[in-house]
Amino acid sequence: MSLIKQVKKLPESPGVYLYLDKKGVILYVGRAINLKKRALQYFQKNLDPRISEMVDRSFKIKQIKTDTVLEAIILEANLIKKHWPKYNVKEKDNRSFIYIVIPKTDYPRPFIVRERELEKFPSKAHIFGPYQSLSLVQNALRIIRRIFPYSKCRPFSGKPCFDKQVGLCPGLCTGEVSKIDYQKNIKNIILLLSGKKKKILRQEGLRHIEEVSLLTQENYNIGQKPQRIEGYDISHLTGKEPYGSMVVFIDGEPDNSLYRLFKIKQAPKNDDIRALEEVITRRFNHLEWRFPDLVLVDGG
């Protein structure tokens, strides 16, 4: 069967695709939101000469479907690390690959680094990658942190950080999370980045099934335009009473039914930063409201 016919039989779902030569050697590994649509792009005109050469040498295309785009990103990185396909090597030579590093400390957190920065971390650190896009990795960790919160703040400061108030920090700053529970979250992140989502579900039982389903809901967040955008602004009505407003755009169009107005109750007058913090904190306390894909704040 010709290569183009193989491509046309690919599913229209997230996953990873592998181009192989006649000997079965993997030439290139990529990931896609829509496997069929992405693979067909390799047969367009005016491609990069390197990609055209790769397609000409390819004899077969394999696909591995995933439940989510995030899992496709993780699987792609693990396959590149395992096989170092020839036509993925250009990024390697440019030292432009991105890695996630989780040090072995009492209260670790993931760091995003470039290859040249890996030597700064201890040899026993957990290293995941290579990833080919900084924005993809940032989005991936944003989703993962919603499922398994971790701290970026100063431990045991006694004062809750902003991330704690929106559910992204488990409370290391306030001492609300034990060392065992914190490390359990990190262990689950390590399992997820290792492509072992099923092991998480087996270990955690029903507790995380709904949370891990967030990954499916977030397919459109990685590699596509944001669907829900929220904008925030502070207004001083009649010069005395400050209010915070939230406007919502769905698929680029304003949705007036989702407009909300917050009366500032705690922030000092004329302190727009504190007022914005109060508004956004109150907004994210509404767990029944869908999370935004992008937040815009009017800087005045």
Instruction: Residue 56: give its domain's CATH number.
Output: 3.40.1440.10
Q: Are 76 and 63 within 8 A, CB to CB?
A: no
Per the CB < 8 A criterion, the answer to whether 16 and 31 are in contact is: yes
Residue 205 lies in a domain: yes
Q: What pLDDT band is residue 239 in, cutting at 50, 70 and 90?
A: low
* Shared-domain flag, residues 13 and 109: no
- Same domain membership, residue 187 and residue 276: no
pLDDT at 237: 64
pTM for the model stands at: 0.65
- What's the rounded mean pLDDT across residues 27-33? 93
Categorize the per-residue pLDDT at 240 as very low, low, confident or very high, splitting at 50, 70 and 90.
low
Going by the DSSP 8-state scheme, the letter that residue 8 receives in this structure is: H
- Average pLDDT of the chain to the nearest whole number: 85
Same domain, 239 and 213: no
**Where does 58-123 have alpha helices with state H?**
69-83, 89-93
Q: What does the pLDDT read at residue 3? A: 95
**206 to each of 200, 201, 209, 210, 213, how far by Cα in Å?**
10, 7, 5, 8, 11
| Residue 61 near residue 6 (C-beta atoms within 8 A) | yes
Tell me, rounded to whole angstroms, the distance of Cα 281 from its chain centroid: 22
Residues 239 and 261 occupy one common structural domain? yes
The verdict on residue 140 lying in a domain is yes
- Are residues 265 and 207 part of one domain? no
What was the pLDDT predicted at 95? 52
At residue 270 the predicted structure's pLDDT band, cuts being 50, 70 and 90, is confident
**What pLDDT band is residue 215 in, cutting at 50, 70 and 90?**
low
Is residue 103 a part of any domain in this protein?
yes
Query: Which residue range is the domain that position 261 belongs to?
Result: 228-293
Q: Are residues 237 and 213 in the same domain?
A: no
> What pLDDT score was predicted for residue 225?
60
Residue 73 confidence (pLDDT) above 50: yes
Q: Report the range of poorest mean pLDDT among 79-93, 200-214, 222-236, 279-293.
A: 200-214
